[in-house]
């Protein structure tokens, strides 16, 4: 039987204290994640690489993030202490997308295929709907975690992450949410990591402060940051290490995949032959769907009706004969020809008024682990008042665990 739990950790305090709690709670997963992550790097490194060379070469990135975000680097140090692992190795896990630029292009292209979208005013509720697929190497499926954090200095946050990482997506008590897409730029250099920028956005009190994180300073590489608030204000930020471009959905449904949409940033794009076609196809399908005149009828009125029934496939790696079904934003067979590492790791749907929810009410989510065509999905809610996580009306054994589908897999 597959272990299908997605662990939820409640933590608060200083960056060091929150990090140590994270490290102690997920110690075994962090050890395993680091080992698999380093195997992933060395297996197909684009430059001659061994452990000593990697640790030495990545020091400038540590220094750059220490200057840009000392509190988040201290949280990483706390995670390393709590898990009893090397800080350098823990930092490299937090450099997930940024270290990927050192791998052979075809390998990176075959393992990254995220799609994100926003609906500024959802039918029925009028609230902002922000969603994403987080598609990474299949071995990372077992490292999924959710962090519900209350820093001493900053807003409460609900953060999707992987064991050992400070964050990959989420929302905060001020009604701000963020999702990202990997973008491949040719100007990678020591700079702020994508995971650090995500947490900087979630540490903001308003949209103005939030968008300063991905646009200010020097970044480690390219990413797209989709930042929204609960009033329906949305900013799409495409970045390279040195430049950025802003796109504005202007109150309309909007989506993004893994290629630059800004004309003036396209010369900075590294075109990966193994992935550019998938990104364009997914974007085309998503854009067509979001522009439907009858989009509202695809949004659920209650949990008994489908949330989305797209008449198209957003994932190019679909199993033959599969059909779209409820709560499906992306679909694939988890492998596909020549794509054995591919897996859909995360889909998140945020409902309700965010500030009140995190302050003392109910934060409702829809999480799906693994490709939807395998029939793995779950609905879940985080109840701040009771401290429990419920799934389809049940409270699973163990505090704060979510239920979803997951397949155990080796590192490669």
Strands 129-137 and 223-229: unpaired
By C-alpha distance, which of 72, 99, 100 is closest to 159?
A: 72
Contacts of 282 (CB under 8 A, 6+ apart): 113, 115, 257, 314, 315, 316, 330
* Global pTM value: 0.77
Coil, helix or strand at residue 296:
helix
pLDDT of residue 271: 80
How many secondary structure helices (H) and strands (E) does the chain include? 12, 17
**Structural domain spans, the chain:** 5-403
List the beta bridge partners of residue 214. Answer: none
pLDDT of residue 214: 97
Sign of dihedral through CA atoms 99, 279, 159, 189? positive
Q: How far is CA 233 from the centre of its chain?
A: 20
Q: Which two tokens stand for residue 25?
A: 């709670």
| Planar angle of CA 226, 136, 129, nearest 5 degrees | 30
Contacts of 370 (CB under 8 A, 6+ apart): 141, 334, 343, 344, 345, 376, 404, 405, 406, 407
Contacts of 393 (CB under 8 A, 6+ apart): none
Per-residue pLDDT of the chain (412 residues; tens, 9 = 90+): 355 578 999 999 999 999 999 999 999 999 999 999 998 888 877 777 788 888 998 999 999 999 999 999 999 999 999 999 999 999 999 998 888 666 544 444 444 578 899 988 766 677 888 888 888 888 898 999 999 999 999 999 999 999 999 999 999 999 999 999 999 888 889 999 999 999 999 999 999 999 999 999 999 999 999 999 988 899 999 999 999 999 999 888 999 998 999 999 998 888 877 678 888 888 998 888 888 876 766 554 444 333 333 333 344 343 333 332 222 223 233 333 333 233 334 434 433 333 333 333 323 334 444 444 444 443 344 443 333 333 332 222 222 222 222 333 456 5
pLDDT of residue 299: 53
By C-alpha distance, which of 162, 161, 158, 137 is closest to 148?
A: 158
Contact assessment for residue 344 and residue 404, using Cβ atoms and an 8 Å cutoff: no
pLDDT of residue 381: 41
pLDDT of residue 134: 83
pLDDT of residue 384: 38
Q: Which two tokens stand for residue 325?
A: 């079904």
Domain 5-403 CATH assignment equals 3.60.60.10: yes
pLDDT of residue 302: 40
Q: What is the DSSP string of 356-411?
A: HHHHHSEEEEEE--S-GGGT--EEEEEETTTTEEEBTTB--SSTTEEE--------
């Amino acid at each position: 039987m597959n272990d299908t739990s997605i662990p939820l950790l409640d933590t608060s305090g200083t960056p060091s204290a929150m990090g140590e709690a994270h490290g102690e709670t997920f110690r075994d997963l962090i050890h395993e994640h680091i080992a698999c992550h380093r195997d992933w790097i060395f297996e197909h490194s684009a430059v001659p690489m061994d452990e000593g060379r990697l640790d030495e070469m990545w020091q400038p990135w540590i220094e750059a993030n220490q200057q840009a975000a000392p509190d988040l680097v201290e949280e990483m140090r706390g995670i390393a202490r709590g898990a009893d692992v090397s800080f350098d190795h823990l930092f490299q896990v937090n450099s997930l997308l940024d270290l990927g630029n050192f791998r052979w292009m075809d390998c990176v292209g075959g393992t990254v295929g995220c799609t994100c979208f926003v609906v500024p005013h959802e039918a029925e509720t009028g609230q902002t709907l922000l969603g994403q697929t987080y598609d990474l190497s299949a071995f990372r499926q077992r490292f999924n975690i959710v962090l519900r954090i209350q820093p001493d200095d900053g807003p409460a946050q609900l953060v999707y992450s992987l064991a050992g990482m400070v964050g990959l997506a989420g929302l905060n008590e001020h009604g701000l949410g963020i999702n990202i897409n990997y973008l491949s730029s040719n100007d990678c250099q020591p700079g702020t990591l994508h995971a650090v920028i995500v947490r900087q956005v979630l540490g903001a009190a308003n949209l103005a402060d939030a968008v300063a994180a991905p646009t200010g300073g020097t970044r480690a590489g390219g990413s797209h940051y989709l930042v929204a608030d609960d009033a329906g204000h949305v900013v799409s930020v495409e970045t390279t290490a040195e430049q950025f471009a802003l796109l504005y959905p202007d109150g309309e449904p909007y989506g993004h995949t893994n290629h630059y949409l800004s004309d003036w940033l396209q010369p900075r794009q590294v075109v990966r032959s193994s992935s550019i076609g998938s990104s364009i196809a997914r974007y085309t399908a998503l854009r067509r769907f979001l522009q439907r005149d009858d989009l509202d009828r695809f949004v659920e009125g209650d949990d008994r009706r489908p949330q989305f029934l797209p008449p198209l496939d957003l994932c190019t790696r679909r199993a033959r004969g599969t059909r779209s079904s409820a709560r499906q934003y992306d679909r694939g067979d988890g492998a596909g020809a020549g794509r054995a590492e591919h897996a859909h790791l995360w889909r998140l749907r945020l409902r309700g008024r965010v500030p009140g929810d995190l302050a003392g009410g109910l934060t409702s989510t829809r999480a799906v682990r693994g490709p939807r065509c395998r029939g793995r999905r779950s609905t879940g809610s985080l109840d701040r008042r009771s401290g429990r996580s419920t799934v389809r009306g049940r409270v699973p054994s163990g505090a704060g665990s979510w239920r979803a589908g997951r397949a155990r897999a080796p590192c490669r």
